[in-house]
Amino acid sequence: MMVRMELSRILIRELTDYQIIELREVVGESEGSAGGATPRTFPIVVGLPEAQAIERRLKGITVKRPQTHDLAANLVEAMGGELVSISITDLSEHTFFAALDIRHGGKMLHVDSRPSDAIALGIARDVPIYVAEHVIESATSDEPE
């Protein structure tokens, strides 16, 4: 089962090697979520360039030339595709796995991606983020995977 999530915050500390983005469950929109329930959250560690790209997109800051995420979005569109959602599909050995869900020619394509890149791409297109239930359970458990 996939659970609808949203980006709830970005923690950028430019003096460290890693940044954190936090995803929060969209209560009431996910399959099986109980209305009025406390939304689940979990962090994903990302690099500084990815965190800055996400932050720029959230703030609507444009840059003079396309960045890598802009290039990827432009390629999808130029080839007749449409980014319809982002799916975070697995968590293994402290690494999250994601896919860009692209509609192309009546087919759904699932393109392997880092979650940070997928989210940076998706934020600009305002596409939904889905996370597999087992990923949320693993990410929010106190026990190591």
Query: pLDDT at position 100, please?
Result: 97
Tokens of 56: 């720029």
Q: Does the pLDDT at position 143 exceed 60?
A: no
Full residue range of the structural domain in which residue 43 is found: 2-140
Q: What is the dihedral of CA 105, 101, 74, 20, to 10 degrees?
A: 180
Taking only the tens place, the pLDDT of each residue in 18-37 is 899 999 999 875 454 455 67
Query: pLDDT at position 36, please?
Result: 63
In a domain, 57, yes or no: yes
In a domain, 74, yes or no: yes
User: Kindly report the CA angle at 116 between 34 and 22, in degrees rounded to 5?
Assistant: 40
Place of tokens 């982002």: 86
Domain CATH number, residue 33? 3.10.690.10
In a domain, 82, yes or no: yes
Taking only the tens place, the pLDDT of each residue in 85-132 is 999 999 999 999 999 999 999 999 999 999 999 998 998 788 999 999
In a domain, 110, yes or no: yes
Q: Dihedral sign, CA of 32, 38, 44, 47? A: positive
Contact status, residue 31 vs residue 3, Cβ threshold 8 Å: yes
In a domain, 63, yes or no: yes
pTM of the predicted model, to two decimals? 0.87
Question: How many domains does the chain divide into?
Answer: 1
In a domain, 145, yes or no: no
User: What confidence tier does 8 reach under pLDDT thresholds 50, 70, 90?
Assistant: very high
Q: Give mean pLDDT, residues 7-26.
A: 90
